[in-house]
Structure 1
Amino acid sequence: MRHAEHGTSLVTMTDNTARLDHVVLWVRDPIAAAGFYEKALGMEPLRLTEFAAGTVAFPSVRLNEETIFDLAPLTLAERMRMLPGAAESAGHPVNHVCLSLPADAFEALRGRLEEQGVPVSELVHDSYGARGMARRAFYFTDPDGNVFEARHYD
């Protein structure tokens, strides 16, 4: 899942079709969370140095050339004033985030998670998603309890 040009954080898209841009996850320790996503999922960490220096509010990790996960520290909740009740969202996770992978990357991810002692669910077969029925899927959590599904369609 690592971005082809390590270190780049801005990608120019050539069309304006709807895409998932980013997901914000509440985490206790953004630097540790970035380490998990880099080591277990192969994601590229972004803005870690700037976060450690205090010049940005949170770091991110890149899923692919179009999508990142922002790793928001729980302390950021008090600044969430854009909508009534937004500050109370800290600690209220989304049900789960699903990652669609090619079959070989799916197998590699499951292997890395197991090597690192991350509990993974049994395989689920023929579950419905954005691209129809996925052949196989499994679930796991990050160190902050955010639930992820990994699946492949091919």
Structure 2
Amino acid sequence: MAAPGPRPGGGEVTAVRVREFDHLVLNVEDVERSLAFYCGVLGLEPVRVEQWRGGRIAFPSVRVTPDTIIDLVRRDRGESNVDHICLVVDPLDWHEVVDSGVFTVLEGPVGRYGARGEAVSLYVQDPDRNTVELRWYPADA
């Protein structure tokens, strides 16, 4: 959980409370090879594979638990293998979080698909410049 921080005009920003881990995005050289490993060898459930093979979405996923997936994104070797992590947070005022200055905001809030379907996400950097997606599912409101 992030502690409240100062707001540019004074006062505090509402605390961001993490509820659970949503997904991990892995950069892989060969998506089909990774699907064979995660689904065939490890026995994970494929998610949206046919939509990906049909060119309707950018990448497939594999399901780890009912609420957690791993996205498999094609990237050339030499780049980081982990693109970002995603944490589900309690509903909050996104604009207040963005305007607070507590986070280095990379993108958002934007609509995105995740382990439990469509949601609203804000992409921020941690102190080591790793990308962290903070996600809120409207059904949790």
TM-score w.r.t. the length of structure 1 is 0.39
More strand by share: 2
Q: Larger RCO: Structure 1 or Structure 2 (Cα < 8 Å, ≥ 6 residues apart)? A: 2
**What's the TM-score, normalizing by structure 2?**
0.42
Which has the larger share of helix?
Answer: 1
